[in-house]
Amino acid sequence: MPERAFIRAKAVRWSADEPIPGLVEVEFDDADGQLWRFVDKAPIFDREAKLTPTASYPLAVDLACTIIDRMGDRVVVSTAEPWGIESVDGQSTFVVRARNSTNGPCATTSSRFNPIQSPSTTSPFR
């Protein structure tokens, strides 16, 4: 079974009310600083029901993924699992920087998922 993880990302805007329950635009920077955008149903990115049409964006979110490979401080991840998410460019495999921690490159937050932080130096969500 693949190791599940999260990419730290930010929801930047409510995109559309249809299809129900509504679409949200989310973005993160990969290990090389390339910005990736995703548009999908709000519950895909939000376990706390904070992404709404009237929310004050941007908001920190976690993008579920699976870890494919580890390369030092970089991690190859796929957003194809567990939710079948692709970027607006059709990509689902990304190289992101692993968050440094005493527990190794990915700090465990639950029995199912690990957080992975994007490397953006300008992100208010570090």
The answer to whether residues 42 and 26 touch, using CB atoms and an 8 Å cutoff, is no
Please state the domain count of the chain: 1
Separation of alpha carbons 16 and 53, rounded Å: 8
Residue 66 is assigned to a structural domain of this protein: yes
Question: What is the reported pLDDT for 99?
Answer: 63
Question: What is the reported pLDDT for 3?
Answer: 87
110 is in which domain, residue-wise? 3-117
Question: What does the CA dihedral 25, 65, 43, 36 come to, rounded to 10 degrees?
Answer: 0
**Mean pLDDT value across residues 86-93:** 97
Residue 48 is assigned to a structural domain of this protein: yes
Residue 70 is assigned to a structural domain of this protein: yes
Give residue-wise pLDDT tens across range 23-46.
Answer: 999 999 999 999 999 999 999 998
**Mean pLDDT value across residues 6-12:** 92
pTM for the full model? 0.76
Residue 126 is assigned to a structural domain of this protein: no
Residue 122 is assigned to a structural domain of this protein: no
CA 54 to mean position of chain CA atoms:
22
**Mean pLDDT value across residues 111-120:** 42
**Mean pLDDT value across residues 42-65:** 92
Residue 112 is assigned to a structural domain of this protein: yes
Per-residue pLDDT band for 96 (boundaries 50, 70, 90) equals very high
